[in-house]
Amino acid sequence: MSMQLEPLKPFVWRVPMGTVPGMRVPGIVFATEELARAIEGDNAIEQVANVATLPGIVGASFAMPDIHWGYGFPIGGVAATDPEQGGVISPGGVGFDIACGVRLLRSELTLADVDDLRGLVAALGDRVPRGVGERGRMRLSRSEVEKVLAEGVRYPLSQGMGWQEDEELCEDFGVLEDALPDEVSDRAIERGAPQLGSLGAGNHFLEVQIVDDILDERAADDMGLFPDQVCVMLHSGSRGLGHQVCTDYLKLVDASMREEGIEVPDRQLACVPVKHEVARRYLGAMYAAANFARANRHVLAHLVRETFEAFLGRSAREMGLRLVYDVAHNLAKMEEHEVEGERRLLCVHRKGATRAFGPGSLEIPEPYRGIGQPVIIPGSMGTASYVLVGTDEPTAFASTCHGAGRAMSRTQAKKRMSGSELVKQLEGEGIVMAASKPRLLAEEAPYAYKDVSQVVDACEGAGLSRKVARLRPVGVVKG
């Protein structure tokens, strides 16, 4: 179904009330003119309107410039609900890959310090478990998984992996304390136990990148970013554990919703009041899965440091392989926001959207309080990625985009070019490729995605975030 967006002001578009029956608030989409036209051709606007029907939704059903058609929620959707007004929580507003996110490591190196880039990328590919069915670096017992679920990055830290400072430089300082590991099913624990420290498949990746352009010198300086610097970006999530948590609770929430007499236009929007017992359990289990996701990226970053050490023959500390930040883009959290002049505790769903708190927030690491929370935006494979920061006047409950956003289905993408042709093209552009399954690679081809530069420009234009640095890939490791 194709629908039209109403222009409100530059970079801001409205999905009017009545677009679908039962909307409680309008939809607001942030986009450039060109992106808006593309969005109108997708089914995503109907999904923005569907989310606007959720009980207790506050302000608007928001969509970031990288919005595209998802299941239930659009990818790029942000919705906050007020528990005091019957507000609901929806597992579909988080998705199956709970706390999927991005971690950026910087270094004191430039490309000139890496004599054999191809060898380094191959070594990373060998060291980092990836792909379907691949087991992680850590094999955990049940009680160890439970510790990860409760302690997040503190558990691998206690096992001697990573650096103490990594904890502070992670969203929520590495752990959501309100996690309830007991609410995570045996099946989820069984799936997670062999997977900690594995990248996964699909759009998950590890890239060696170079800082290509500094767009905000002060913020870049506070993050330790400089031109030509070697960085490593990791994109992964909570693996099978998170998928199973969502699967389990979707069923429970679907059943409870019927009992509560709540109706939604798409069953994948199944939701239950935040104050309901099932919501309490889901929130606790979802937070636990988020802790697993952070710990997973923490272990992966440890493997990256080890690989650099072994390959370049210098210590990771000497090479300055420090964490810039780790932030999720599939999560719902209880957060305080100002609504109509008063602070209210809201349940903020970000499905393919990133939290972007402004300067001064106590929720962000102390070194960044002067500039705002870092936001890490992975581009599509072989294209630029960005580092952004939150702004002084946070918009859409302090949220911004999460990536380029798909523009083409996987089947269409594969028709355009074969995986091996794509590898050849990217290698021709000077990017070293290590992909375990070249045949599927074309699904993630750059042409299947929107232009990430336009997406971050739209975010800046709309006041969601500011650009700090652009990075370009020189090595890609894919599952």
Partner 1 sequence: MTRSYELLEHTADVGILARGDTREEAFAAAGEGLAEILGSWFPGRGEEHEVRIEGPDVEALLVAWLDELLYLSEASDAVFGGFEVDRVEETRLLARVRVAPRAGRALEGQHVKAATYHRLRVAQEPPGWTARVFLDV
Residue ranges in contact with partner 1 by CB under 8 A: 42-44, 68-72, 75, 92, 95-97, 131-133, 187, 190-191, 200-202, 240, 243-244, 246-247, 250-251, 254-255, 258, 266-268, 270, 406-412, 436-437, 439-440, 443, 479
For the chain, how far is it from start to end, CA to CA, in angstroms? 34
CB nearer to partner 1: pick between 127 and 450:
450
The closest of 112, 111, 117, 105 to 433, measured between CA atoms, is: 117
Query: Please, what is the Cα angle at 378 between 35 and 46, to 5 degrees?
Result: 40
Cβ closest to partner 1, residue 266 vs residue 457: 266
Q: Is residue 402 annotated as a catalytic residue, yes or no?
A: yes
**Least spacing, CB of residue 187 vs partner 1, in Å:** 6
Closest approach, Cβ 29 to partner 1, in A, equals 16
Q: Minimum distance from CB of 97 to partner 1 (Å)? A: 6
Distance in angstroms (rounded) separating the CA atoms of residues 477 and 9: 41
Residue nearer to partner 1 on the CB measure, 244 or 391 = 244
In the complex, the smallest distance separating the C-beta of residue 397 from partner 1, rounded to whole angstroms, is 23
Contact, 455 vs 401, CB < 8 A?
yes
Helix ranges restricted to H, 169-238: 186-192, 217-222
Assign 184 to helix, strand or coil: coil
Nearer to partner 1, 44 or 54 (CB): 44
CA 466 to chain centre: 18
Dist CA 189 CA 238 (whole Å): 11
Degrees (nearest 5) of the Cα angle 447, 126, 243? Answer: 65
Cβ atoms of 53 and 419 closer than 8 Å: no
Contact assessment for residue 251 and residue 187, using Cβ atoms and an 8 Å cutoff: no
Among residues 269, 273, 270, the alpha carbon closest in space to that of 47 is found at: 269
Q: How far is the CB of 439 from partner 1 (least distance, A)?
A: 6
- Of 61 and 107, CB closest to partner 1: 61
Could you say which of 68, 204, 243, 402 is catalytic? Answer: 402
Least Å distance, CB 76 to partner 1, is 11
What is d(CA 244, CA 185) in angstroms, rounded to the nearest whole number?
8
244 vs 395, which CB is nearer to partner 1?
Answer: 244
Which amino acid is present at 248?
Answer: D
Catalytically active residues, by annotation? 402
